[in-house]
Structure 1
Amino acid sequence: MPENAAAIVIDIGTTNCKVACFSRRDASRLDERKFVTPKITSPTGNVDFDIDALWQQVVATMRSLIAATDCPVTHISIASFGESGVFLDEAGNILTPMLAWYDRRGEEYLATLTEADSQRLYQITGLPLHSNYSAFKMRWLLDNYALRGRHGLRWLHAPEVLLWRLTGAQRTDTTLASRTLCLDLQQGSWSAQAADILQLPLDAFAPLLAPGEVAGWVTPACREALGLNQPVCVTLAGHDHMVGARALQLQTGEVLNSTGTTEGILLLQPQPLLNEQARRDKLANGRYSRDNHFTLFASLPVGGFALEWVSSTFRLSREEIDAALVQATQRYLADEWQPEGLPLFIPHLRGSGSPYKNRHTRGLMYGLSDTLPHDELLLTVLLGLTMEFANCFTCFAVPAGPALKVIGPATRNPLWLQLKADSLARTVEAIAFDEAVSVGALLIACTDVPPPEVRVAQRYQPDPQRSRALQRYQQRWQAFYQFKLQQEGVISPINQENCHVESNRYREK
């Protein structure tokens, strides 16, 4: 390897795509370009990713980066969101649109599966039933594009389409395969039984690749089009959540909290968790980008979006939000608040997360008055996010000890992180790390590149007195939470009793 060799990393995101050029000597970023992920939205609100436009923009961006660097590019690595893909025929023609991973077409098929089907699929794939997974998109496309019974079909996810066009190879990465509902998680192979339950053609799935394995080599025609003068290998880095964890050098038993518009919780473990409680809590298992490692994942539909909602709903400027956060932080740290005196906020603005994941639930705020100051409003909202997060975190049964590692915009919100530390009675670490997905994709493809330092920008330690006050607040919050979900038909009185037990178990920890 030349000492000054470079690698191109493609990060296909839901909102934006990033294409970066990294030095293989020290993982430093030489250059980067961003563009909006191309989408097609129908008049009825259905969303497709425009895979042809994406390909054209990726090629143009790579060509620009390659021309701007003096280093020879030897590797291309691709990370992406999961679930979205297309069907190809034997001649390589794309037959279907690429449904966005969050698009709800295919949801109708959930009702065709029995409880026994759900249990069996969880044992095989480690995934709870949800329309986001590739299987339901595949089934919808097969039925709506008259592909049933057609021979020679091939299913490729978004990054795999780019791989195919760059190299001619049709392969699937195991971390993306574990988001299809058709991968035997423990065996690491496609499951004929899962495909049969879901009425999908098993032979449509592409051969699987081990994490970091070279997926193919850029064809001479593509090399010429991109301005490459030497052989270049291509790697499928995989599902972006797993790729980002790789950049942070996450170890077994550690928990990552990724924040943004939504929130995610990811636990790295040596074995999948496939018991009935995990299925009921709708925890998603997955293959990790290191052999013999698995992830346990859950997401919350609302994270930082709650602050945007406050700003727009209550007509607060960015300056007013920032000033209120500073004042709320000072009051909270000085114990100048009363758990019984604040309103209650349940942040189901876009549905609820685990353990009662349901997109139809709605938010609730109780206790508003015309004299509520801005700082108490912001503290109420962040407390609601923290209580919802604590509910979800409890499902993971993480033993005491490991710190919660946080990345994303929440690292710039000290009050939010201190609330998490106090509510969980656990150290919270704000990780200062930019572009974790891009760096993770680089490390997966180029194993000889030294990983950059993972720096803890701030540690938040739990305070026993504040933790006790939050427990009192949580008791009030849980009562409204359970009542609301019962009114919405999400939980029954029996579930409600179990929820009390889980809440008590959390407080005992």
Structure 2
Amino acid sequence: MYIGLDLGTSGLKGILIDEAQTVLAEATAPLTVQRPHDGWSEQSPAAWIAAAEIVMDRLAAHGLGDVRGIGLSGQMHGATLLDSADEVIRPCILWNDTRSAAEAADLDGDPMFRRITGNIVFPGFTAPKLLWVRNHEPRNWERVATVLLPKDYLRLWLSGEYAAEMSDAAGTSWLDTGARDWSDDLLAATGLARANMPRLVEGAAISGNLRAALAARWGLPAGVVIAGGGGDNAASGVGVGVVRAGEAFVSLGTSGVLFAANAGYQPSPETAVHTFCHALPDTWHQMGVILSATDSLNWYAGLVGEAAATLTGGLGALQSPGKPLFLPYLGGERTPLNNATIRGAFLGLEHATDKAAGTRAVLEGVTFAFRDCRDALAATGTKLEKLIAVGGGSRSDYWLGAIATALNVPVLLPQAGDFGGAFGAARLAIMATTGAGAEIATLPPIARQIDPSPALTAAFDAGHARYHAAQAAIATLG
């Protein structure tokens, strides 16, 4: 048996699978985000440990005596700062925190960063967060001995090992993404050195073993392997079987991701596309990332006082985009804007605008943001022939129909089951433990395919054009 742990922003999920990759049990524990100032987003690493204890306690009720390996997946980019005694210095600065926009711009102004990492230095990445700490919290900066990504703090607790893997490390702005190694020059440019970083392993490699005390607590055998694992999107790619060139998925989670696997390293930072290492050796991937996907829908649901599922469930058949227009920039945007200060907007409201019209506008706005990502990927030569849909938003057929039509690609919906980050982490645990490779990362059984609606293609093209005009109009408002 194998365990996958996925440390998300809103919760930690664990699954238990057998040798045939059948899910035997799963458990979740919620997490909350603290936002003490505008643009800030933080979590306490102690909350991650508490959540992991809850999840492991619940999985242990199913019997873990045959577990051979544990894989880790997690939210990327978070700056978890430890002192020389491994004490957490301050709350972790999360992926969707935009406070370090000025520091990111400074680093991105140095051509070395794009040349070595293959990416723009986004405010959400880890390196500019460390500069922000140096500039604004000098006492905390002086204490920094080790910088870990969120899931790698869990690894330290589980195994006592300081380790990271390539897919997550690629989102720090410190990795030579083509060489799959830390860049001493980039670290030095931010006042750090290799000694402040965890050692690097591949996602399907062994990073350590479960500590004896924890194994005894949960009834696991001695020597359980801890796999390198993957950043949340790379692990989801492994979970949904998108590990070979030409395969892609769209993730409708808190954030939104358009993810394509690549056999080689083909960066194009000017497009604001993320080019990262995949969780498997000698494999890379590209992503268009939007910061607010289901987060936008949940925000709107809270505004109108109705559950998101109720709002989307009553929409009926796909319609042409209406007059109301929503721009989903609740906390800035990445692909293709790279703008931490831009904020969202509702436009075109009228007396006839009701909750249903507002819901459609929110879904369409996020859909058009995905279309922008599609266009950015296309500029690098990546062509999407079909998409597998994952994440909570994929429960809305209306939303998937809008995406299929706006992007003009079929969207495939897997059969019921967990094919996300936790499942991918468990697959990586199998690989690390047994020596298996990408062949076990098969595509999931598909329940149905949602095709583009030719009758609405022109209307969605026109809606996207309106979206772009509105985008330009609000860009300077902040």
Shift of residue 73 of structure 1?
Answer: 2.0
* CA offset digits 1:275-299 (Å, max 9, x no partner): xxx3233222111011111111122
Counterpart selection for 2:6 from 8, 11, 15: 11
Match of 1:481 in 2: 471
Match of 2:389 in 1: 406
TM-aligned CA deviation for residue 320 of structure 1: 6.9
CA contact (8 A) 2:77 2:126 kept: yes
Instruction: Name the counterpart of 1:54.
Output: 48
Q: Which runs of 5+ in 1 are unaligned?
A: 1-5, 490-509
Give the deviation of 1:233 after TM superposition.
Answer: 1.5
Contact 1:343 1:380 (C-alpha < 8 Å) held by counterparts:
yes
Matches within 5 A, 1:12-51: 12-23=7-18, 25-37=19-31, 42=36, 47-51=41-45
Contact 2:202–2:228, Cα closer than 8 Å, also in 1 = no
Q: Give the Å deviation of 1:142.
A: 5.0
1:132 corresponds to 2:116: no
8 Å CA contact retained: 2:413, 2:449: yes
Answer whether contact 1:431 1:455 (CA < 8 A) is retained: yes
- Where do 5+ consecutive residues of structure 2 fail to align? none
Q: Partner of 1:325: helix, strand, or coil?
A: coil
Contact 2:246–2:384 at 8 Å: present in 1 too? no
Provide the C-alpha distance between the structure 2 equivalents of 1:436 and 1:148, rounded to a whole number of angstroms: 35
Q: What CA distance in whole angstroms lies between the structure 1 residues aligned with 2:296 and 2:221? A: 49
Contact 1:74–1:230 (8 Å) recurs in 2? no
* Alignment pair present for 1:199 and 2:183: no
Q: Identify if the C-alpha distance between structure 1 residues 324 and 107 changes in structure 2 by more than 3 Å, giving closer, same or farther.
A: same
Range that drifts further, 47-56 or 175-184: 47-56
Q: Aligned pair in 2 of structure 1 residues 161, 409: CA closer, same or farther (>3 Å)?
A: closer
Preserved CA contact (<8 Å) 1:400 1:426 = no
Cα separation, 2, equivalents of 1:194 and 1:468? 46
Match of 1:269 in 2: 262
Task: Tell whether 2:328 aligns with 1:347.
Answer: yes
Contact 1:27 1:452 in 2 (8 A): no
Say which of 364, 374, 394 aligns to 1:393.
374
Q: What's the CA shift for 1:453? A: 5.9
1:264 partner SS: strand
Partner of 2:428: 444
How do 1:356-375 residues align onto structure 2 when only pairs under 5 Å count?
356-372=337-353, 375=356
1:316 and 1:27, CA in 2 relative to 1: closer, same or farther beyond 3 A? closer
Q: 1:126 to 1:318 in 2, by over 3 A?
A: closer
Q: Shift of the alpha carbon at 1:440?
A: 0.5
Number of aligned residues: 467
Aligned to 1:502: none
Partner of 1:422: 405
Q: Could you tell me how far apart the structure 1 residues matched to 2:456 and 2:45 are?
A: 50
CA change 1:452–1:312 in 2 (3 A) is: same
Instruction: Assess, with a 3 A threshold, how the Cα gap between structure 1 residues 149 and 26 changes in structure 2: closer, same or farther.
Output: same
* Distance of 1:365 and 1:92 partners within structure 2: 46
Find the aligned partners of 2:42 and 2:326 in 1 and give their Cα distance.
Answer: 34
Percent identical pairs in the alignment equals 21
- Classify 1:467/1:192 alpha carbon distance in 2 versus 1 (closer, same or farther; 3 Å): same
Q: Specify which of 434, 450, 457 is matched with residue 418 of structure 2.
A: 434
- What's the CA shift string for 1:372-397, capped at 9, x where partnerless? 46554444443333323212210100
For 1:260, the aligned partner's letter is G
Structure 2 residue aligned with 1:501: none
| SS of residue paired to 1:73 | coil
Tell me what 1:241 maps to. Answer: 233
Residue of structure 2 equivalent to 1:166 = 158
RMSD (Å) for aligned C-alpha atoms: 3.1
Q: Which residue of 2 aligns with 1:86?
A: 80
- Cα distance change, pair 292–63 in 1 and its aligned pair in 2 (3 A): same
Aligned runs of 1:487-506 on 2, under 5 Å? 487-488=476-477
Q: Distance in 2 between the 1:284 and 1:455 partners?
A: 28
Aligned counterpart for 1:184 among listed residues 146, 171, 176? 176
Per the alignment, in what secondary structure is the counterpart of residue 171 of structure 2? coil
Deviation at 1:38, TM superposition (A): 6.2
Q: Cα–Cα, structure 1 residues 138 and 483, in superposed 2: closer, same or farther, change >3 Å?
A: closer
Question: Which has the higher mean CA deviation after the structures are superposed, 88-97 or 157-166?
Answer: 88-97
Q: Structure 1 length as normaliser, TM-score?
A: 0.81
Check whether the contact 1:324–1:378 (CA below 8 A) recurs between aligned residues. Answer: no
1:330-384 deviations in Å (ceiling 9; x for gaps): xx3xxxx5x7x73433333443442223232233334332234655444444333
Partner residue of 1:285 out of 275, 278, 282: 275
Distance in 1 between the 2:34 and 2:354 partners?
A: 42
2:444 is aligned with 1:454: yes
Shift of 1:314: 4.8
Q: Distance in 1 between matches of 2:158 and 2:328?
A: 43
Code of the residue aligned with 2:235 in structure 1: it is V
Residue identity opposite 1:384 in structure 2 = G
Structure 1 pair 200/106, CA: closer, same or farther in 2 (3 Å)? farther
Shift of 1:148: 6.1
Whichever residue aligns with residue 467 of structure 1, its letter is: T
What's the CA shift string for 1:41-74, capped at 9, x where partnerless?
6588955432234324424542453354164222
Residue in structure 1 matched with residue 245 of structure 2 by the alignment = 252
Q: TM-score, normalised by structure 2?
A: 0.86
Give the secondary structure class of the aligned counterpart of 1:160: helix
